């Protein structure tokens, strides 16, 4: 989900049965894939009504999309926490990242790659700093 969700982020979920879990295009949802692993992807389209909807989801980084039954969704991501960046997904930063991901320009993958490099460098620098403080 780079660049909107950095590796190591803690995701807060509104469980699908809760009132806060109304799924909208642009939301990041967590679901179980065929291998029974949790996956977080952004909803890019929905078809159907009620609890019988089919969601088209994709990672912000990848161009690949897949279909998921709404019943497979465990919850909607409501907050992302990371030492570098924390935000509510329906707040200003979250909505900006959602609009950016949904309307990504051709250069989006380049921006995502740059974000991954920056995240890696920041993580390496933070690790080195912590290691230096513990000497």
Set out the domains of the chain in order of their start, with CATH numbers. 10-133 (2.10.109)
Mean pLDDT of the chain: 81
Taking the C-alpha atoms of residue 14 and residue 85, their distance in angstroms, rounded to an integer, is: 20
Residues in Cβ contact with 77 at an 8 Å cutoff, skipping those fewer than 6 apart: 5, 11, 12, 13, 27, 28, 29, 30, 40, 89
Whole-angstrom distance, CA of residue 22 vs CA of residue 83:
28
**DSSP for 10-21?**
EEEEEETTSGGG
55-114 pLDDT tens trace = 999 988 877 899 999 888 999 999 999 998 899 999 999 998 888 888 865 455 555 555
**Residue 21: pLDDT over 60:** yes
- As a whole number of angstroms, the distance between CA 55 and CA 47 comes to 7
Confidence of residue 30 (pLDDT cuts 50, 70, 90): very high
Share of the chain above pLDDT 90, in %: 42
| Type and span of the H or E element at 108 | helix 108-133
Pairing of strands 73-81, 38-47: unpaired
């Amino acid at each position: 989900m780079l660049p909107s969700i950095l590796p190591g982020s803690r995701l807060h979920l509104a469980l699908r049965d809760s009132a806060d879990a109304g799924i909208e295009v642009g939301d990041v949802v967590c679901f179980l894939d065929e291998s029974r692993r949790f996956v977080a992807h952004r909803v890019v389209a929905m078809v159907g009504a009620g609890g019988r909807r089919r969601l088209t989801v994709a990672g912000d980084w990848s161009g690949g999309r897949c279909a998921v039954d709404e019943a497979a969704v465990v919850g909607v991501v409501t907050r992302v926490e990371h030492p570098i960046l924390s935000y509510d997904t329906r707040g200003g930063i979250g909505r900006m990242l959602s609009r950016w991901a949904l309307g990504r320009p051709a250069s989006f993958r380049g921006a995502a790659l740059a974000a991954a490099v920056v995240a890696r460098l920041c993580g390496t620098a933070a690790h080195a700093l912590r290691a230096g403080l513990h000497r």
